[in-house]
Structure 1
């Protein structure tokens, strides 16, 4: 039987990784060849980095998390998507070192680690759905 932390990691990856959508399309599924949702991607990066900073005891960034890119080249887009994958993978690696007991630890005003991880899962699913809606409104299908 999987531990609680292993189940959470599975759900996080299901909501995020290509071809593994938790309910429908994953975050990475909806990002392939899409550029109009760049600000949402920056927001997803910010959310994961925010939790990583809490877990690592680092200062919490206060910048605008829905950043509009200055460089809108294909290479810059690919780098942004790559950064999102890297941040996700970093969070997963941190979690692999945690136990079920760690899930109950308070992160202060942010709730428990478990609360925050389910928040990240929901956040990824919500924004994946948002991106799908934007694509549909643009007449694009996945």
Structure 2
């Protein structure tokens, strides 16, 4: 299996369909979360919706680069979630995450392995490999937070 195929598989595992590392994934963990739960505050923690938006924001930004566009995302905007006031709005956010995640994995699978060692946009960002692995690790980090917040909300 090529390196890009292995990375795409790892990415899908954390976002869409895997159970190997965390025994869950974003799609599984968020499948039964209501919009009220997604927007509920637990102390000073980010909400589930904010964390979901945050990961989706970065995935969409990398997809744009993979498609030949510029790196347009900025850390300072990565938590600027528009208000969610209905189940429909929550489901739209989730649907966007699932579509962008699959697009990310598909575009990754189409890359030649040699691209992984190329500079990602600017030397200060490192290589494509560093950014792809960073996206996977970043996703697991926030999946853990979502899992704990969901548990805190359902145990109340």
Q: TM-score range by the shorter chain?
A: 0.7 to 0.9
1:45 aligns with 2:34: no
Cα RMSD, aligned residues only: 1.6
Partner of residue 128, structure 1: 143
Q: Which residues in structure 2 correspond to 1:82-121 (within 5 Å)?
A: 82-107=95-120, 108=122, 109-121=124-136
1:103-122 deviation digits (Å, cap 9, x = unpaired): 11111221111111111111
Q: Which residues in structure 2 correspond to 1:43-82 (within 5 Å)?
A: 43-55=54-66, 56-62=68-74, 64-82=77-95
Deviation of 1:10 after TM superposition, in Å, equals 0.8
Check whether the contact 2:58–2:73 (CA below 8 A) recurs between aligned residues: no
C-alpha change, 1:22 and 1:126, in structure 2 (3 Å) is farther
Q: TM-score, normalised by structure 1?
A: 0.88
CA distance in 1 between partners of 2:138 and 2:27 (Å): 13
Mark the runs of 5 or more structure 1 residues left unpaired by the alignment: none
Deviates more, 1:47-56 or 1:58-67: 58-67
Deviation of 1:59 after TM superposition, in Å, equals 4.8
Mark the runs of 5 or more structure 2 residues left unpaired by the alignment: 40-47
C-alpha change, 1:115 and 1:12, in structure 2 (3 Å) is same
Deviation of 1:73 after TM superposition, in Å, equals 0.3
Deviation of 1:139 after TM superposition, in Å, equals 3.3
Check whether the contact 2:61–2:72 (CA below 8 A) recurs between aligned residues: yes
Deviation of 1:69 after TM superposition, in Å, equals 3.1
1:21 aligns with 2:32: no
CA distance in 1 between partners of 2:20 and 2:89 (Å): 28
CA distance in 1 between partners of 2:147 and 2:92 (Å): 21
SS at match of 2:77: coil
Count of aligned pairs between the two proteins: 138
CA distance in 2 between partners of 1:21 and 1:135 (Å): 18
